[in-house]
Amino acid sequence: MVHFFNILGIWLGAYFTLAIFSFLYKDNPFYKVAEQIFVGLSAGYWFIYTIYSILIPNLFNPLKADFGANWIKLVPAVLGVMMLLRLLPKGNWISRYPIAFSIGTTSGLAFMKFVKSDVIKQLTATMINPFAAGNWIDVIGQILLVVGTITGVIYFYFSKKHEGAFGTTAKIGIYFLMVSFGAAFGYTAMARISLLIGRLQFLLGDWLGIIPH
């Protein structure tokens, strides 16, 4: 019976893959049904995994095992229930407390982390001596890195009108941004094609058996 369900599983996978692909021809009921099943299963998965991975091990089990030592966990539990009250028409204001708690935690932490990792460390990594590089290719590259970062940041400064020397610097910044957007497009194209390759490896391999698995 297991073998039958394995085969059925592959056919189900193939059916739903083709149902989604049918959208490329035009929108149709097969696609719409598949799309809604996707949404429903996705929500169900998140729901179940949140219960089994977070609420049971980090909340219910500690409370059940040793309430005396873990009673403090009732605070996030109450805040969590207050969050759920958002579903009631008049419960909106109650949910502000857990939201305020979460936003406060994230803002405080994000403030510190972004200052260190995305500003200070990035600036430090840019303050290099380009001429210390081993060969002339890297020297050119490092000069580009320093110039590109500084001019790019200047481009994002909108409080001053982009004209004169400032405007020219910002313009150079745009050129670097354009190269980086082009590279990003190249990588995005690569990523999307990879996903299609994955699908066709399933259809041609697991389902049709044309290519070895």
Q: Kindly identify the residues of this chain, within the stretch 71-100, that bind other proteins according to CB under 8 A.
A: 72-73, 75-77, 79-81, 83-84, 86-87, 92-93, 96-100
Q: Kindly determine how many residues on this chain lie close enough to bind other proteins according to the rule CB under 8 A.
A: 140
| C-alpha span between 68 and 136 (Å, rounded) | 67
Comparison of 164 and 201: residue with beta carbon closer to other proteins: 201
Closest distance between other proteins and the C-beta of residue 54, in Å?
4
User: Of residues 188-207, which lie at the interface with other proteins (CB under 8 A)?
Assistant: 188-202, 204
Q: Are 16 and 34 in contact (CB under 8 A)?
A: yes
Count of CB atoms situated within 10 Å of the CB of 37: 12
Q: Does 30 bind other proteins (CB under 8 A)?
A: no
Q: Does 69 bind other proteins (CB under 8 A)?
A: no
Interacting residue with other proteins among 28, 48, 71, 166 (CB under 8 A): 48
DSSP 160: S
Comparison of 119 and 165: residue with beta carbon closer to other proteins: 119
Interacting residue with other proteins among 28, 47, 64, 66 (CB under 8 A): 47
The contact mask relative to other proteins for 142-181 (x = CB under 8 A, - = no) is x-xxxxxx-xxx-xx----------------xxxxxxxxx
Closest distance between other proteins and the C-beta of residue 66, in Å?
11
| C-alpha span between 47 and 45 (Å, rounded) | 5
Residue closest to 104 by CA, chosen among 79, 70, 129, 139: 79
The contact mask relative to other proteins for 97-136 (x = CB under 8 A, - = no) is xxxxxxxxxxxxxxxxxxxxxxx-xxxxxx-x--------
Interacting residue with other proteins among 68, 134, 137, 164 (CB under 8 A): 137
DSSP 159: S
Q: Does 37 bind other proteins (CB under 8 A)?
A: yes
Q: Does 49 bind other proteins (CB under 8 A)?
A: yes
DSSP secondary structure string for all residues of 35-99? HHHHHHHHHHHHHHHHIIIIIIIIIIHHHHH-HHHHGGGHHHHHHHHHHHGGGSTT-TTTTHHHH
Q: Is 22 exposed, middle or buried (0-12, 13-18, 19+ CB in 10 A)?
A: middle
Comparison of 118 and 161: residue with beta carbon closer to other proteins: 118
The amino acid that residue 157 corresponds to is Y
